[in-house]
């Protein structure tokens, strides 16, 4: 049976998604092996290195991610001693986030996270194409029954801690 144009288009979309997900997975696993943190954590650390003292909301805007998802990643980074959280002296309701010395060392060892390249690529699209891509992907997500709740950051799983052999 010969494939139809819609099948070829769907195959091309799946191929593109596979390439993106594969690169996200491979780079995230590489970061986990080399640095012991997730790709999502490195993405957040990298953005904090660019602007110290920002809030969860500002960080969510920089990473194009829902604030609750960013907050979960930041909490793990704080627990690991890579990020410090302090109260904004001008507004006690607002927390300021900064890299610790340990966080700075981790970022200095790391390359550019793939998420940065992906965001840059999306932002480089003409507005009309980006809007169309957004609407089309949202329709696919809705049709697949995945539209509820907030989307986590890519590969936001806590890396498995290495255990030493005895």
In-domain check, residue 11: no
**Residue 132 is part of a domain; what is its CATH number?**
1.10.10.10
Q: Tens-of-pLDDT digits for all 166 residues of the chain?
A: 567 888 899 999 999 999 999 999 999 899 999 999 999 999 999 999 998 889 999 999 999 999 999 999 999 999 999 999 988 777 777 789 999 999 999 999 998 999 999 999 999 999 999 999 999 999 999 999 999 988 888 877 655 555 444 4
Say what the pLDDT of residue 118 is: 94
Q: How far apart are CA 63 and CA 46, in angstroms?
A: 10
Residue 106's domain spans which residues?
17-143
pTM above 0.85, yes or no: no
In-domain check, residue 152: no
Q: Residue 161 is encoded by which pair of tokens?
A: 């801690």
Q: How many domains does the chain have?
A: 1
In-domain check, residue 56: yes
Give Cβ neighbours of residue 49 (< 8 Å, ≥ 6 apart).
Answer: 99, 103, 104, 107
In-domain check, residue 9: no
In-domain check, residue 55: yes
In-domain check, residue 5: no
In-domain check, residue 162: no
In-domain check, residue 160: no
Say what the pLDDT of residue 158 is: 53
Q: How far apart are CA 6 and CA 10, in angstroms?
A: 6
């Amino acid at each position: 049976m010969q494939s139809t144009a819609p099948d070829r288009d769907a195959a091309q979309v799946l191929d593109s998604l596979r390439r993106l997900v594969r690169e996200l997975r491979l780079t995230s696993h590489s970061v986990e092996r080399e640095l012991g943190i997730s790709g999502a954590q490195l993405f957040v650390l990298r953005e904090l290195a660019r602007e110290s003292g920002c809030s969860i909301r500002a960080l969510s805007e920089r990473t194009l991610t829902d604030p609750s998802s960013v907050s979960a990643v930041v909490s793990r980074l704080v627990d690991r001693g890579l990020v410090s959280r302090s109260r904004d002296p001008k507004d006690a309701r607002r927390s300021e986030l900064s890299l610790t010395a340990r966080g700075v060392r981790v970022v200095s060892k790391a390359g550019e996270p793939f998420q940065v390249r992906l965001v840059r690529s999306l932002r480089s699209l003409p507005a009309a194409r980006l809007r169309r891509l957004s609407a089309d992907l949202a329709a696919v997500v809705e049709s697949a029954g995945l539209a509820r709740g907030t989307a986590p950051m890519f590969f936001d799983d806590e890396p498995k801690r290495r255990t030493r052999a005895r």
